[in-house]
């Protein structure tokens, strides 16, 4: 059985695998840039995300998904369902004194 390789080692295949694996490990930042993309901006409000499960009307769900996909194609942010919903919920929380 072969030894497990780090994420970065898997990106560029080695033509002749070394008999001794390297003693240094890739930096955490280089792994993050590969996984999340080099142009992904760091979120100034980096917080822990918590799973919230709820049901919404079907027509809202379809429209939200369509908006998300169109915004992704256009390169507009926010473009994920999560980010769009967070942006929509924030004003309500402020208005009602929760933020």
Q: Is residue 4 part of a domain?
A: no
Q: Who contacts 11 (Cβ-Cβ below 8 Å, separation ≥6)?
A: 34
Residue 29 confidence (pLDDT): 77
Q: pLDDT per residue over 42-60, tens digit each? A: 565 667 888 999 999 999 9
Number of domains observed in the structure of the chain: 1
Note the pLDDT tens digit of each residue in 17-33. 666 655 556 667 777 77
Residue-number span of the structural domain to which 77 is assigned: 57-99
For 1-10, what is the mean pLDDT? 74
In a domain, residue 35? The reply is no
22: in domain: no
pTM over 0.75, yes/no: no
Question: Would 68 be classed as within a structural domain?
Answer: yes
1 domain-assigned: no
Q: Does 15 reside within a domain?
A: no
Residue 48 lies in a domain: no
Distance, CA of 72 to CA of 74 (rounded, Å): 5
Residue 90, domain member (yes or no):
yes
């Amino acid at each position: 059985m072969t030894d497990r390789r780090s994420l970065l080692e898997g990106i560029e295949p080695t033509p002749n695998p070394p008999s001794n694996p390297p003693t240094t490990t890739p930096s955490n930042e280089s792994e993050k840039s590969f996984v999340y993309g080099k142009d992904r901006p760091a979120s100034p409000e980096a917080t822990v995300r918590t799973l919230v499960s709820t049901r919404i009307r079907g027509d809202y769900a379809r429209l939200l998904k369509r908006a998300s996909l169109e915004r992704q194609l256009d390169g507009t942010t926010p473009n994920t369902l999560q980010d769009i919903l967070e942006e929509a919920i924030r004003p309500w929380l402020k208005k009602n004194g929760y933020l």
